[in-house]
Amino acid sequence: MVSRIRRRLFPLFLALLLTALPLAGCAKQSVEETGTTETEEKKPNSSLGLTIGYAEGVTEVEDPDALQKLVDDAFNAAQEQGFELEYKNGAYSTDGVNFDCYIANASSNQYDMFISIYADAELTDELFVSQLLRPGSAFDHVTLNRQLDIGRHRVYVPHTQVTVEDGQQVIAGQITVTMDFSVLEE
């Protein structure tokens, strides 16, 4: 019984061995072709064949702590909480000027915010600019500065967070979304 199993396994083992030997040779040849000796200059690999070298004639950083401060500032900014959007996509009107809507400064946000509404993606055709909203407050109605025609209008709504630095209001963050403002027939 054991000899029958050996007779059946031996051809399988031989086939496996004959298949593995050429593969091992290819792998060894590949390592030898790509390997470098200690005296050869090592060059970066690039799939595009491009290598970017180091700039010459540069100087050391004057303040060695300046680079670390930039890294620390970037890390701290990344750790700050993002800002949450809270709005309903649709706004509705029967006169084309006064729209029922829901656009909020989420209570989880840390900065005051104002919204603008534009009729175009380039943000040049202004329809509305709000005053500041505190976190946790919302608009349920907006009055546009001009009338929209009957139908659905895709508008662009930047949500702009504001903070005070050195006594000046500055933008802390901004996200633009699109909304559908619909003017219904009466």
pLDDT digits (tens, 9 = 90+) for 41-93: 455 555 566 777 778 877 666 776 777 777 777 776 666 667 888 999 999 99
Give a yes or no: residue 154 inside a domain: yes
Residue 31 lies in a domain: no
Give a yes or no: residue 77 inside a domain: no
Contacts of 147 (CB under 8 A, 6+ apart): 95, 96, 97
pTM: 0.58
Q: How many domains does the chain have?
A: 1
Residue-number span of the structural domain to which 150 is assigned: 82-183
Residue 149 lies in a domain: yes
Whether 94 is covered by a domain: the verdict is yes
CATH of the domain at 160: 2.60.40
Contact 176, 161 (CB under 8 A): no
Q: Across the chain, what does the average pLDDT equal? A: 79
- 129 Cβ contact list (under 8 Å, min separation 6): 114, 115, 116, 117
Q: Is residue 29 part of a domain?
A: no
Domain for residue 178, yes or no? yes
Residue 162 lies in a domain: yes
